[in-house]
Amino acid sequence: MTSLLLSLVASISAFYVSENPLHFALVGVGIYYFFRKSSKPATLTYLNFILLSAVGILGKLKGFHEGIIPGLFYLSLGTASGIIYDLTYKWYGLIPMLALTGIGIGFVATEKFGQMGFAFGLLVIPVLLRELYLQKKAEGVEK
C-alpha cells in the first residue's frame, strides 16, 4: 500500500510541475511493488518516490526554473528502472537506476549550485559500492 501512495504522490507532484503526463507511469511502478510485497529494491524505489515528491512540491512552492524539469524526468526514469534491479537482484542491476537518479539529482542541484550541482549526482556511487560489497560478502558465506 505504501508503494501505491508514494507513487501517486510522486506522479501528481511531478505532473504538477512539468505538466508531462508520462510521470503518471510511476503509478505502474507502484502497482508492481505493491504485488511484490517487501523487497530490498522496493526501499530504494521508495526513496526515489520521496525525492520526486519533494522536488515536485518544493519546486512549485519555492518557484522553479525550467532546469528541474529534465531532472524530474531523469528521476522518474531512474525510479522505473529500479524494476531491473528487482528482476536481476545483482549489483549491476542497480547501475541504470542509480545512473539515471544521479543525473536527475545533478539537474535539480544545478538550479541551486550552478555547474557544481552536477557533482551531487555522484553521491549515488557509494550506494552502488555498498551493494557490490554486500553481494560479494553473501557469496563468500554461501561457499
Out of 3-12, 44-53, 60-69, 96-105, least confident range: 60-69
- Cβ burial 123-135 (10 Å sphere, 16+ → b, else e): ebeebbeebeeee
Q: Are 55 and 75 in contact (CB under 8 A)?
A: yes
Domain range for 58: 2-137
Residue 117 included in any domain: yes
| The pLDDT of residue 5 | 93
Residue 142 included in any domain: no
Q: What Cα–Cα distance (Å) separates residue 94 from each residue in 73, 79, 84, 132? A: 18, 11, 8, 10
> How much is the average pLDDT of 60-84?
85
Residue 109 included in any domain: yes
| The pLDDT of residue 143 | 58
Out of 8-12, 48-52, 93-97, least confident range: 93-97
| Number of domains present in the structure of the chain | 1
Residue 143 included in any domain: no
Residue 132 included in any domain: yes
Residue 28 included in any domain: yes
> Could you read off the pLDDT of 74-133 as tens digits, one per residue?
999 999 998 888 888 887 888 898 889 989 988 888 888 888 888 888 888 888 888 888
Computed over every residue of the chain, the mean pLDDT equals 86
- CA dihedral over 46, 62, 15, 119, signed as positive or negative: negative
Residue 59 has pLDDT above 70, yes or no: yes
Name, in order, each residue with C-beta under 8 angstroms of 136's C-beta and a sequence gap of 6 or more. Answer: none
| The pLDDT of residue 8 | 94
Q: Is residue 142 very low, low, confident or very high in pLDDT (cuts 50, 70, 90)?
A: low
